[in-house]
Structure 1
Amino acid sequence: MTGAEKNTGSHSFTEKVHLFSRDYLKCCLFILGPGSPNKGYVFTKKLFSKLIGTSQVLEDFLDFHGAKNNKDWYLYRELSAAVRHLSLGGYSQKHILNRLVCYDLPEDDAFERDGRVTLDFLTRSLIKIAPIILDEARRLGIPIPEDEFDGSEFPGIVTGTGLEYNIDDEKKKQPKNYIVKISSEFLNISKHFDQYTFFEPFDVHRIRSLVPEVINEVEVRRYEMLVHNLQSSFDTYVIHGGYVHGRRQLKTLRSHFSVVFHLLQSMGRFLHFYERHLHEAGYRDIYKKVRNQLSFLVDPDILLDRTINYGLFWVCHFLSNGKEIAQAVLNENIDRDVIQVGVPVPRGFHSRPSLLVAKIVQHYGGKVELCAGEGRFDASSVLDIQWAGGKIQNENITHVKFEGDARSLRDLKVLANSNYGEDTMGNGIPLPRELGYLHE
Structure 2
Amino acid sequence: MSQAASTQSLSQIISEEDFIPILREASVDFISLLGHLSREGHGVNKLFVFTLLKESEKLENLLDDYGARSNQRFLYFAEVVASVRNFSLAGFQILHVVERYSDYLSATSDAIRREFEKDATKAMAYFMKVLSRFHDSLVEEAKDLGMEVAFESIPQEEWKFKPTPKLPYTIGGVKIDNPEERIISIAQSYRRVFKLFRQGGLQRRIKASDLSEIIPSRINENMMADFESQLHNIQSEYDTHIKGSMAEGKNPWTLTMRGLTAIPMHLFESLSWLIHFYERHENKTRGGEAGARIARLVDNPELLKVITGFGLHHCARYLAEGNEVAERILSMYVTPITYQLPLPQPQGFHARPATYVSLIVQEHGTDTFLIHEDKRFSCRSVLDLLEAGGMLADSGATRAVFEGDKRCLDDLKILSENNYCEDRDIPQELNYLRILRNM
Q: Distance in 1 between matches of 2:250 and 2:166?
A: 17
Question: What does 1:256-405 correspond to in 2, within 5 Å?
Answer: 256-281=260-285, 287-344=287-344, 348-405=348-405
Q: Per-residue deviation at 1:2?
A: 6.8
Q: Deviations along 1:261-301, whole A, 9 cap, x unmatched?
A: 212222222223234433443x6xxx553233213332222
Shift of 1:86: 0.7
Q: Are 1:419 and 2:418 counterparts? A: yes
Shift, 1:363, TM fit: 0.4
Q: Which residue of structure 2 lines up, in the alignment, with residue 30 of structure 1?
A: 33
Structure 2 residue aligned with 1:428: 424
Structure 1 residues 251 and 111: alpha-carbon distance in aligned structure 2, compared to 1, 3 A threshold? same
Contact 2:370–2:401 under 8 Å retained in 1: yes
The residue that corresponds to 1:109 in the other structure is: 114
Q: How many aligned residue pairs are there?
A: 423
User: Structure 1: how far apart are the matches of 2:410 and 2:254?
Assistant: 27
Cα distance in structure 2, aligned partners of 1:137 and 1:428? 71
Q: Deviations over 1:115-168 (max 9, x none)?
A: 123223223322332353355456557797x79797799878965432343332
Quote the Cα distance in structure 2 between the aligned partners of 1:60 and 1:119: 28
Aligned to 2:83: 82
Cα offset, 1:429, TM superposition: 4.1
Deviates more, 1:187-196 or 1:146-155: 146-155
Contact 1:220 1:267 survives alignment (8 Å): yes
Pick closer, same or farther for the CA change 1:8–1:99 going to 2, 3 Å: farther
* Distance (whole Å) between structure 1 residues aligned to residue 13 and residue 158 of structure 2: 32
1:67 corresponding residue in structure 2:
69
- How far apart are the structure 2 equivalents of 1:404 and 1:272? 45
SS in 1 for 2:377: strand
Alpha carbons of structure 1 residues 111 and 355: separation in structure 2 relative to 1, 3 Å: closer
Q: Is the 8 A contact 1:47 1:154 kept in 2?
A: no
Q: Deviations over 1:300-357 (max 9, x none)?
A: 2222222222222322332344444333323222342222333345554455543332
The alignment partner of 2:339 has SS state of strand
Contact 1:45 1:156 in 2 (8 A): no
In the alignment, the residues of structure 1 paired with residue 194 and residue 10 of structure 2 have an alpha-carbon distance, to the nearest angstrom, of: 52
Distance in 2 (CA, whole Å) between partners of 1:280 and 1:311 is 23
Instruction: Give the structure-1-normalised TM-score.
Output: 0.77
Q: 1:414 to 1:210 in 2, by over 3 A?
A: same
**8 Å Cα contact 1:44-1:156 kept in structure 2:** no
Give me the whole-angstrom Cα distance separating, in 1, the residues matched to 2:386 and 2:271: 42
C-alpha distance in structure 1 between counterparts of 2:9 and 2:146, whole Å:
22
The one-letter code matched in structure 2 to 1:342 is P
- After superposition, where does 1:50-65 map in structure 2 within 5 Å? 50-51=54-55, 53-54=57-58, 56-58=60-62, 60-61=64-65, 65=67
Structure 2, unaligned runs of 5 or more: none
Name the SS for the 1:44 alignment partner.
helix
Q: Is the 8 A contact 1:278 1:300 kept in 2?
A: no
Cα separation, 2, equivalents of 1:181 and 1:330? 9
Is the CA contact 1:24–1:54 (under 8 Å) kept in the aligned structure 2? no
Q: Which runs of 5+ in 1 are unaligned?
A: none
Amino acid at match of 1:124: K
Contact 1:20 1:57 survives alignment (8 Å): no
Kept in 2: contact 1:176–1:334 (CA 8 A)? no
Instruction: Name the CA distance, whole Å, in 1 between partners of 2:354 and 2:53.
Output: 53
